[in-house]
A and B are shown apart, each in its own frame.
Chain A
């Protein structure tokens, strides 16, 4: 995992006045599944299109396997793309679609037939080989689009929201299929999505992009548990963001005043006294009790909603300031808390993160 396949060096992209991609530095390792995650319009698709060669960066360099590809048109780049709406050729059968890339590269006829058959088997579409794209469902077209790309055995496979048009159940299934395919083939996947759950499920690493800027790149667990910015904490999963002020720092800890109480947190490098900060606490790291917890500072609030959502209870506690705090507890803890009750909120400070505001 140390060899770098794609390298972006200070890439910028302007459309007229709009600065779409801002000074992007990104290393994609060989064989990894890296996801560019961000809300729509954040520049992730533009980034993918620059790597594929459909767009030219306004400045900066793109290296594919160490080679600057600025001068190479899309057909000369050793990458293949799975497009958002599949972009299958409507006048060709599934077999012809998949064989198109090999045909363009003047691959011998019998080798095309064999490799197309392999690709069909890999995506379990052998039975549909002679159909036209419009005779198939979205999920089937999606598989063909993947087969059409991987049959060329590219260095990198670029996937632009490939599951966006599928319904939820099929999407979940395809997430695992794509992940298994990637592990089996060992091809580097660069995946674009705005669905954070999809990103966390499939990726080796996730790059969160916001307003054209790379916010954080890390493993899914680290992105979730140790968000580096307020945007990442808010965008990935559900979280409670408390506004606070740093009132003291020591070697390993930082004390933050939140809603009039003082809390201590670890992991807050670079925070100085007096700084305005946000503290992000995941709902599952929150807990609530009827009695004031001993020796611990707690926030007092009133339960305004308490709903059963399958495996867990989700409780909304409203603080006197009007801030709504979400608490998620295992379903087994039912019966402890009633709606309208006053409760004390505490949290696991080891699972909380202090973020610059």
Chain B
């Protein structure tokens, strides 16, 4: 059947283009203005320059907050993996009381508005005597990252052909050897994918962090602070960097998922 370029398809194409523009044009503006020679965001630009990237590099507070964010993202992703992967294995392999309920509520930390989680944790931590600090932020992030790791790894485990684990045992492998040589390599894409996604989500998390950080600034909080006195081109520069980094991580994690399906 030959596709005809009639009125309906044209309308659809225009509508799709409109939606895409609505989503991505603001991002494009940020990226373009990050190379602006002028300090005022206005069009047409007076020239192209990398000076805001230089300014960004020299902004000690900004660099410190970037380091903080990367550290928080690394630690909470690590913790989410350590807790989420065994959790997924337990869900897949064992029947226990309340399993059905657990399966349903495990996504709750992701679905709940971050502001709720933040308020709840702030109150809870105060009761526990934990001051708003870096560990508090890490714990906050970990709670919803576990949900990501657990659901992604669990979904992969459910599709894993259990016969290959039986075959491994049949060929003389202990349970640990089977896990190491057979199970792990076959869920590796889900592991890497969920770790990358967790890292990205932690990196630009604001609401939960906002309640728990105290004087400890992460990059999104720092950027948010800087924009209170108007949008500076420096913010455009750091936003572009974060955008590119996130994009790369998300592309990798999507690729992994597709590769696994093939």
Contacts and interface: CB of A to CB of B under 8 A. Distances in A.
Interface of A: 52-54, 73-75, 79-81, 83-85, 87-91, 100-101, 104-105, 148, 152
B169 A83 contact: no
B164 A80 contact: no
Contacts of B164: 87-90
Interface residues of B, number: 17
A104 B185 contact: no
Interface string B12-24: 0000000000000
A53 B170 CA distance: 8
A90 B163 contact: no
A34 to B, nearest CB: 19
A103 B181 CA distance: 11
B92 interface: no
A85 B163 contact: yes
A74 B178 CA distance: 12
A148 B171 contact: yes
24 contacts: A53-B170, A54-B166, A54-B169, A73-B169, A75-B172, A79-B170, A80-B170, A80-B171, A81-B166, A81-B167, A81-B170, A83-B166, A85-B163, A87-B161, A87-B163, A87-B167, A88-B164, A89-B182, A90-B186, A91-B186, A100-B181, A104-B171, A105-B172, A148-B167
Contacts of A80: 170-171
Nearest to A90: B186
Q: Which of A75, A105, A152 has the most CB of B within 10 A?
A: A75
A100 B163 contact: no
Contacts of A85: 161, 163
Nearest to B185: A91
A152 B172 contact: yes
B177 interface: yes
A90 B115 CA distance: 44
Interface in B153-178: 161, 163-164, 166-174, 177
Given A80-B171, A91-B185, A152-B171, A104 B177 contact: yes
A75 B173 contact: yes
B166 A87 contact: yes
Contact of A101 (B163, B166, B171, B174): B171
B169 A89 contact: no
Given A87-B164, A104-B177, A75 B186 contact: no
A90 B166 CA distance: 14
A282 to B, nearest CB: 39
A137 to B, nearest CB: 18
